[in-house]
Structure 1
Amino acid sequence: MTPRHRGPDYVTLRRESPVPVWLQIAWRGGLVIGLLALAILVHWFERDGLRDSYDGHVSFLDVIYFTMISITTTGYGDIVPISTEARLFDALVVTPIRIFFVLIFIGTAYTFVFRRTWEKWRMQTIQRNLCDHIIVAGFGTSGSEAVDELITRGAPPERIVVIDPSAEALDRAHSLGCAVMEADATRDKTLEAVRIKAAKAIIVSAGRDDTSILITLTARHLSPDISISIAVRNADNELLARQAGATTVINPVSFAGLLLAGSTHGAHISDYMADLASSHGRVQLAEREVDPEECGSPLSAIAKGLGVRFYRDGRPYGFWEPEAAALKPGDIIVEILPTAASERELD
C-alpha cells in the first residue's frame, strides 16, 4: 500500500522505499542540470548559428538565456537559430529535453506530493475502518502457511493484516491482497496502528520464541480479550507463552513428532490428522457454540457435523463421557465437518 510516514507517532501500512527521498530528488535534479548543461554547451559551441535581434551579438549569457527559454517554453523570438545545425539540434535534442523536463517535474510532483497525500489518506481510511480483522505477526514459513489457510477457509484477504520487519517477506502477502506493514510487532505503536483492540485474533509466528512471546505480551497488554495463537519451537517455552497471555500455543516440532509417531500405528493415521488440520483435504475440524435447538440433545446428535469434544466452563469433555449426553447453553463444540471440496465430490 503506501510507504511509512516518517512522523514519530504514525505508522502506515506497506513499506518504505529502499531509496531515501532526498536521494530520489537529488538524482532527478542532477539529471535536469546535466541535460541543461549539455544544451548550453552545444549552443555555445554553435553560437554562430544563432542570431540576436537585439544587438546582433550572442554572448554566453545570451546562450544561457536562449537555452533556458527554449527548454521551458517555445521561445520569444528575440534569439533564433539560423543555421541548419542549430535548427536540427533544437528540433531533435532541445524539444525532447523540453518534454522530458515536463515529465520529470510532473512525475516528481505526483510522487512526492499527490501520490503520497492520496496514499496517506487512503491508508488512514483503511486503518480507521479495520474491524474484526486478523493480524499475522511474522510472515515466515508458519505465518505464510497460516495466511494461505485462512484465505482457503474463506477469510477475505483485505481482512488480514501482516506485520513483518522484512520488506522481502511482505511481497507475497501483498500480492495475495493482504494489508501489510513493515514494522516491529513488539512495539505498542505498531499494534495500535493496526487497531488490535478491534481485531478478531492475532497469529504470532516471529521465528524466535523470545520475540513471539514478547509480541504476545504486548498484544495481551493492549487487548485483554483478543484471541492469541502463537507458534513456539522449544517445548520449554510453551508454559511461558501461556503465561504471557496466549490463548493457543502451537509447537510445530511437537506436532510433527505426533504425526511421525501416529504413522507407526497405521499408514493412514497421520494422513487423517493432517487432513483435519487443513482445509485442502476432505474433512476439517471446526469449533462453534452450541445452537439453541441442540441444547438437551447428546453430542452425537448435533446437526452439522460429527461431534468429538465439547468445552463446558473451560473444561474439555469427550463424546464418551456422561456429560456428553445432554448439551447445555454456552457449550463450545469441536466437530468434524466435510470440506467444500468433499461436498463438491458428492454433487
Structure 2
Amino acid sequence: MSDESAQPVARPRGGVALPERLRSPWWELTRRLLLAFAILAVTVLLVWFDRNGYHDSNDASGKLSLVDAFYYTTVTLSTTGYGDIAPVAAHSRLLNAIVVTPMRIAFLALLIGTTLEVLASRSREIFRISRWRKHMGHHVVIVGYGTKGRSAVETLVNNGQDRERIVVVDPSASALQDAHADGLAVITGDATRRDVLQRAGVDSADQVIITTDRDDSNVLATLTVRQLNPSAYIVAAAREQENAPLMKQSGANSVITSSDAVGRLLGLSSLSPTLGAVMEDLLTYGEGLEVAERPLLVNEVGKQPQRLPDQVIAVVRDEKVFRYFDPVVSQLARGDRLVVVRPAKELPWAPRPGTHDEDFAEEG
C-alpha cells in the first residue's frame, strides 16, 4: 500500500515538478560500489606516483612497488593500518592528511552506509507488504488503470471509499506510476491469470471493477474473478453492446457499455443540448446534481416515492430495481433502498439534511 509519502504535496503554481526517479536498491548499491572502486583506484595511483615519499619496513630497499601501493591503499582506506608502510616525506604526510583521509571517509560511507540503506529499505518494504496483506480484506479491486479505471477510483474515493482499501491490477509501467502517484496499491500483472488476482486478494474482495480496453480480456478476467470469489460484486466494462450478455454469463453483476453510453449521450446532446448538459451534469462528480443510492428512513415507510424530499427515480427492493412509478413500490417498505437525484453538495449515501439522526428502515 501507499506509505506516508503518498499524501499530496503542495507545489508552487507554475513551478517545474519533475517525476521522481525510482531505482532498484541493487542498482543503487552497484553504482556506489563502482564509485568506491574508483576512489580505491585513484588512491592507488596517488600513492604509486608519490612512492618515493613512503617507506616499506618489510623491504630491504624500503621502496614501494605497485602491489605495495595497492596493499597500502586497501589497508588505509579500510582503517586497518598495519604500519609496515608509512609516509615519511613531509609532502607525502601532508597529501595523506588533506587527500587520502577524506577519501577514506568517503570510501567507508559508501560501503557501510549503502549496505545499511539497502538492507533497511528492503526490510521496510517487506514489512509493509506483509502488514498490508494481513489487513487486506473487504476491499475493491480495479482491473485496468486507464481512463475508466481512474474515473472509477475517483468516484469511489469521493463517495467515502478509503484509498487503502483499493487495489489496482495492471501490467503496464505507466499505470503503476499513475496509481502510486494516486496513493494506491498496485499488483503488476495480467488480470486474466489466477496467481495475479490472488496476489490482489480477489478472494476476499467485496467488489471488483474490470475496465481493460479489450472485451475478450474483460470476459476472461470476469470468469477468473468469479471462480476465485463467488460472492464478489463484479462490474465490467464492455466496448461493444453485443459482448455485454457474454460478460453477464461469465459472472458480471453489472455491465456498462462504454461506446453505447457515449453514443447515446452524443445523440441526446444533438437532439437537445439542454438535455445533454443535464446528463453530463449527472455524470460529473461534485458539481450540480448527483445520482445516489441511500437507505429508507423509518419515517418514510408507507409513503409514496413521489412524496419524499429527495427526487426518487428508482426503488431497490429484494435486489430488484423498480421505477418510481411502478405499482409494486407505490408504498415504500422496510428494507427498500432509494436511488435519488440530489444536490452534489450533499453526501450521496446520507439521508437528507436534518434527518441524519433518524433510524434506517431496515428489514427485521
TM-score category of the 2 structures, normalised to the smaller one: 0.7 to 0.9
Tell me which of 221, 227, 230 is aligned to 2:227: 221
Q: In the TM superposition, what is the alpha-carbon distance from 1:285 to its structure 2 partner?
A: 1.0
1:41-120 equivalent positions in 2, closer than 5 A: 41-55=45-59, 56-73=62-79, 75-120=81-126
Check conservation: 1:149, 1:278, Cα contact below 8 A: no
Q: In the TM superposition, what is the alpha-carbon distance from 1:162 to its structure 2 partner?
A: 1.4
1:338 maps to 343
Tell me which of 322, 328, 344 is aligned to 1:323: 328
Q: In the TM superposition, what is the alpha-carbon distance from 1:101 to its structure 2 partner?
A: 2.3
Q: In the TM superposition, what is the alpha-carbon distance from 1:119 to its structure 2 partner?
A: 0.9
Q: In the TM superposition, what is the alpha-carbon distance from 1:110 to its structure 2 partner?
A: 3.2
The secondary structure found in structure 1 opposite 2:234 is strand
Q: Deviations over 1:241-290 (max 9, x none)?
A: 11111122112211111111112332221221122223222111112343
Aligned counterparts of 1:98 and 1:315: Cα–Cα separation in 2:
76
Check conservation: 2:36, 2:111, Cα contact below 8 A: no
The secondary structure found in structure 1 opposite 2:81 is coil
Matched, 1:33 2:41: no
Aligned counterparts of 2:306 and 2:254: Cα–Cα separation in 1:
26
Query: Structure 1's 106 and 211: CA in aligned 2 closer, same or farther, altered over 3 A?
Result: farther
Give the unaligned 5+ runs of structure 1: 3-16
Tell me which of 242, 263, 268 is aligned to 1:262: 268
Tell me which of 245, 251, 267 is aligned to 1:245: 251
Pairs aligned (count): 328
Tell me which of 144, 152, 164 is aligned to 1:138: 144
TM score, norm. by length of structure 2:
0.80
Check conservation: 2:313, 2:324, Cα contact below 8 A: yes
The secondary structure found in structure 1 opposite 2:241 is coil
2:237 maps to 231
Check conservation: 1:130, 1:194, Cα contact below 8 A: no
Check conservation: 1:50, 1:80, Cα contact below 8 A: yes
1:166 maps to 172
1:7 maps to none
Higher mean C-alpha displacement, 194-203 vs 124-133: 194-203
Matched, 1:205 2:205: no
Q: In the TM superposition, what is the alpha-carbon distance from 1:44 to its structure 2 partner?
A: 1.8
Query: Structure 1's 45 and 199: CA in aligned 2 closer, same or farther, altered over 3 A?
Result: same
Q: Deviations over 1:148-176 (max 9, x none)?
A: 22223332222221121112222222122
Aligned counterparts of 1:243 and 1:84: Cα–Cα separation in 2:
88
Tell me which of 116, 119, 130 is aligned to 1:124: 130
Q: Deviations over 1:264-318 (max 9, x none)?
A: 3322212211222232221111123434443322122345x22111133444322
1:273 maps to 279
TM score, norm. by length of structure 1:
0.84
Aligned counterparts of 1:247 and 1:107: Cα–Cα separation in 2:
53
Percent pairwise identity = 35
Q: In the TM superposition, what is the alpha-carbon distance from 1:204 to its structure 2 partner?
A: 1.0
Q: In the TM superposition, what is the alpha-carbon distance from 1:189 to its structure 2 partner?
A: 2.0
For residue 270 of structure 1, what is the amino acid of its counterpart? G
Give the unaligned 5+ runs of structure 2: 3-21, 354-364
The secondary structure found in structure 1 opposite 2:248 is helix
Query: Structure 1's 316 and 59: CA in aligned 2 closer, same or farther, altered over 3 A?
Result: closer
Q: In the TM superposition, what is the alpha-carbon distance from 1:28 to its structure 2 partner?
A: 4.0
Aligned counterparts of 2:207 and 2:339: Cα–Cα separation in 1:
19
Query: Structure 1's 174 and 102: CA in aligned 2 closer, same or farther, altered over 3 A?
Result: same
